[in-house]
Chain A
Amino acid sequence: LAKTTQPISMDSYEGQEVNITCSHNNIATNDYITWYQQFPSQGPRFIIQGYKTKVTNEVASLFIPADRKSSTLSLPRVSLSDTAVYYCLVGTNAGKSTFGDGTTLTVKP
């Protein structure tokens, strides 16, 4: 499984767009990129998944460059309730999965 590297923490203010980048230099051809959100003492919640280019859903966008060695989760107009830990995962759907250390996002008023 490819190792992922994310910033340990980020700060933002309400209403701003937040971009969290994940580095995965050893990503394999069959690997997907998946992002989860976790609030304290709760289980992670699926946000978005992609393979290449750009994916958008109702809560976030995921940008993946052509070489796929990194990806960027974009959260538009964050609010205080977006304060959480965000995890980037890289792998197939074959079962084994490795979460990185995650990025703690703090949104300030």
Chain B
Amino acid sequence: EAQVTQNPRYLITVTGKKLTVTCSQNMNHEYMSWYRQDPGLGLRQIYYSMNVEVTDKGDVPEGYKVSRKEKRNFPLILESPSPNQTSLYFCASSNKGITEAFFGQGTRLTVV
């Protein structure tokens, strides 16, 4: 089954404690992207990757890092999480940028 898998689905952490949210796709897609979704603000793009070792900033990259060492994985790293990064995070992948992208089920992150 074609899917984008995010882990964990839910996470509560404390300010400043480094964390990684993993994203993996099994469709051999070249494009992957991370979004955050906050009430009243829709989906905002954090980072995207057009292929292995190629990453670029979206609209809200501050406080986040990503890496794309393998085609199937695109982890999101928060080196020093802060409460304003409390949000619902989605990973997406496709072979055509945002066209026909598959999204993961989301990771609900709470930073206290």
Residues of A within 8 A of B (CB): 32, 34, 41-46, 49, 87, 89, 91-102
A42 to B37, CA, bound (A): 11
Counting contact residues on chain B (CB < 8 A from A), the size range is: 20 to 34
A-B residue pairs, 8 tightest by C-beta: A43-B103, A93-B97, A97-B98, A99-B43, A93-B96, A95-B48, A46-B100, A99-B42
Q: Which residue of the partner chain B has the closest CB to A43? A: B103
Q: Which residue of B lies closest to A91 (CB)?
A: B98
Closest to B9 in A: A41
If over half of B's interface residues share one DSSP class (helix, strand or loop), that class is named, otherwise mixed; here it is: strand
Measured CB to CB, the residues of B under 8 A from A are 4, 31, 33, 35, 40-45, 48-50, 56, 58-59, 88, 90, 92, 96-106, 108
User: Within the complex, what minimum Cβ distance (angstroms) separates B8 from chain A?
Assistant: 15
Contact for A97 among B40, B45, B102, B105, CB less than 8 A: B45
The answer for the CA separation of A46 and B56 in the assembled complex, in Å, is 23
Q: What's the Cα separation between A43 and B101 when bound, in Å?
A: 10
In this complex, what residue of A is CB-closest to B95? Answer: A93
The A interface is mostly helix, strand or loop, or mixed, namely loop
Nearest A residue to B44 by beta-carbon distance? A99
Known: A43-B104, A43-B105, A93-B98. A100 touches B42 (CB 8 A): yes
Chain B residue nearest to A94 (CB atoms) is B97
User: Are B56 and A96 closer than 8 Å at their CB atoms?
Assistant: yes
> In the complex the two chains form, what is the Cα distance from A49 to B96 in whole Å?
12
Contact check, B48 vs A32: say whether CB atoms are below 8 A apart.
no
